[in-house]
């Protein structure tokens, strides 16, 4: 038997072009199907797209774990997010508040040492925002906190979970709910809150 007898015949250029076009077309269809599936699944879960690690919160300049402070130390959300019951923004606490404990707590922990360096330099921490509505949208924390804590007779810090999920159990904060227009408006409708455009748009 001669070597090479079993080699497939070399495809002609015409065949190559046909196969190329066929694979491009099928690739396109697969992409469309995957895209639609991602949309359906994420809408069904009521969460932002969680494919390719989108649900992972961003890395922060200092790895601040809510778990340690909320679950283990029992700190209330409003202890740090002080503005949340009275203002539009919840606000992130300044380094000075962290240092009331970390001047002494957490010796030898790398992330706490980083925090102390920032404090000693008199700098602020550039926290990466996880939730943000566009500039043309008006959002107000206090209105929501007051409404739901009164209606359901719960603490302010128990209202947060409605929109943010169980932050106390997140090592890294991630977005738990869509908080896009349809989501906002649906909840407003269910609770007889205003749904006219100027409620949320300037
Ligand atoms: C010891 C202080 C402290 C406590 C207590 C605390 N937080 Fe935070 N929180 C922070 C800091 C610092 C950040 C910014 C870093 C980050 O995102 O992890 C933050 C970020 C957040 C964010 C993300 C903000 C954004 O960028 O969108 C949410 C939501 C949040 N906290 C909710 C809560 C809730 C709900 C509780 C109570 C269950 C809570 N926090 C308790 C300090 C605190
Ligand atoms: C009420 C006191 C208190 C406040 C306020 C506080 N912490 Fe802590 N934090 C602690 C304690 C206690 C620990 C655990 C220290 C240990 O394990 O030795 C800790 C742990 C940490 C750790 C290390 C987590 C780990 O396991 O590596 C970081 C980072 C941290 N805190 C950052 C912050 C930042 C940033 C703030 C301000 C937004 C803050 N803390 C506010 C008490 C506090
Ligand atoms: C009705 C839904 C809703 C509830 C309830 C809610 N949040 Fe928020 N939160 C949002 C939205 C929307 C944003 C983004 C706002 C923006 O971009 O101005 C946000 C942003 C934040 C931020 C970062 C920006 C800021 O305002 O400082 C923090 C921190 C935060 N929330 C903490 C809390 C805490 C703590 C509670 C409970 C006491 C809470 N939120 C309850 C919807 C909510
Ligand atoms: C879980 C339900 C819920 C969600 C989600 C929600 N809201 Fe609301 N919102 C309410 C309720 C209820 C009120 C009425 C509060 C009152 O009557 O004081 C309200 C009131 C408001 C107000 C009026 C505040 C004021 O000044 O009186 C604004 C603005 C607003 N929401 C914006 C938003 C935006 C923007 C979003 C989405 C990012 C959103 N809301 C998501 C329930 C919700
Ligand atoms: C309860 C709050 C709320 C009300 C009421 C509301 N919107 Fe919005 N709207 C939003 C939020 C939040 C976004 C931003 C969505 C995002 O993150 O893309 C938005 C985005 C938009 C956009 C930008 C396109 C888009 O979808 O991102 C337009 C246009 C818009 N709204 C028009 C309107 C009009 C017109 C009305 C009145 C019929 C209205 N909105 C009522 C919350 C609201």
Q: Are residues 23 and 114 in the same domain?
A: no
Range of the domain at 134: 57-92+128-202
Q: Is 13 exposed, middle or buried (0-12, 13-18, 19+ CB in 10 A)?
A: exposed
Distance 172 CA to ligand 4 centre (A): 26
Specify the pTM: 0.89
Domain shared by 156 and 116, yes or no = no
pLDDT tens digits, one per residue of 137-166: 999 999 999 999 999 999 999 999 999 999
* CA-atom Rg of the chain in angstroms: 26
Question: Quick one: 66 and 110 in the same domain?
Answer: no
51 within some domain: no
Residue 185 CB less than 6 A away from ligand 5: yes
Going from the Cα of 164 to the center of ligand 4, the distance in angstroms, rounded, reads 14
Answer whether residue 4 is part of any domain. no
**pLDDT > 90 in the chain, percent:** 79
Provide the number of structural domains found in the chain.
3
Please give the structure tokens belonging to residue 101: 């404990």
Question: Beta-strand (E) ranges in the chain?
Answer: none
Residues 197, 159 share a domain: yes
Note whether 69 and 157 are same-domain residues.
Answer: yes
């Amino acid at each position: 038997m001669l070597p090479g007898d079993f080699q497939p015949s070399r495809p002609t250029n015409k065949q190559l072009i046909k196969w190329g076009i066929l694979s491009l077309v099928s690739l396109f269809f697969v992409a469309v199907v995957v895209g639609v599936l991602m949309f359906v699944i994420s809408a069904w879960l009521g969460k932002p797209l969680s494919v390719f690690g989108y649900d992972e919160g961003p890395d922060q300049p200092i790895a601040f774990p809510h778990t340690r402070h909320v679950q283990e130390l029992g700190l209330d959300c409003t202890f740090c997010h002080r503005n949340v019951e009275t203002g539009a923004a919840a606000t992130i606490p300044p380094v000075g508040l962290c240092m009331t404990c970390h001047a002494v707590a957490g010796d030898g922990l790398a992330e706490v040492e980083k925090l102390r360096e920032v404090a000693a330099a008199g700098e602020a921490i550039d926290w990466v925002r996880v939730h943000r509505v566009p500039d043309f949208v008006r959002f107000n924390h206090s209105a929501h906190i007051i409404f739901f804590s009164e209606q359901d007779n719960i603490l302010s810090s128990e209202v947060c979970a409605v929109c943010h999920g169980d932050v106390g159990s997140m090592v890294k904060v991630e977005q738990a709910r869509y908080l896009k227009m349809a989501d906002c408006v649906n909840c407003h409708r269910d609770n007889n809150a205003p749904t006219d455009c100027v409620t949320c748009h300037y």
